[in-house]
Amino acid sequence: MDINNVFYKKLFDRELYSFEDYGGEYILKVSNYVSEKSLADSSKIDNSELVFSESLAQNLKLIYDQVLRISLNWGISEEFTDKIIDENEWLKRYRENNDLSYDFIKDQLSGIINITSLDEMFDDKKYNYLTINGVRYLPFDHHNSLIAYFKLESNKIEDNIYLFNTEDSGKIHNMKVDCIKYLELAYEAKLFYYWQYAYIFKDGVYNERLNKTLPLIFPFVELDLLNFN
């Protein structure tokens, strides 16, 4: 996976910024993409005391040979938020039925990715790991209260992503995807708010919201949402 090509050239530079050509008043507000490739150092994987499965070691090296971390988020203007809410009957019902505020809906019409550095992943003295029933989890991606983890058991880590919501403590979801597939899904979903739940729960409200609203936000992009149907 060419991370810079997927997240910088395609998503950030082309798909997000091309929004300027689609009705100027609806420009997406985009934060800076952070790669810091010059600081990338995958040697920390081999030098770590942790034991990685062969596939995870290979995939982490593929990622961290290219970037130190990935940090990107986008949102839309208030004018475009109004337009989407007014024109999307499903979203209007969703807001009314759940008594949701305008600001809450606006926050959900956004996207984020925050892939940790290896230091953030490995250093349990500096960062708080998740521990459930004596099992530790290493952070990979932070989404506000939603965090993607690797599972650490008997000092060994497999290439599989688990999902935990700090606002829903006690529950952890097995996404049953490796870290490369996770990044591919993130790109397909354009980092959309809680896309992970849309992937896990195909018949849930997060999935329906993604499929109903993402085409309205990106009408100029040929979306591939097969993995979310």
**Of 87-101, 107-121, 171-185, where does mean pLDDT reach its minimum?**
87-101
Query: What are the structural domain ranges in the chain?
Result: 3-228
At 54-97, the pLDDT tens digits run: 999 999 999 998 888 888 888 887 777 887 887 788 888 888 88
Q: Which residue has the tokens 């880590």?
A: 157
Distances (CA, A) of 213 to 3, 29, 108, 113, 153: 26, 17, 10, 19, 39
- The DSSP-derived string for 110-131 is EEEEEEPPHHHHH-TTTSPPEE
pLDDT tens string 192-217: 999 999 999 999 999 999 999 898 88
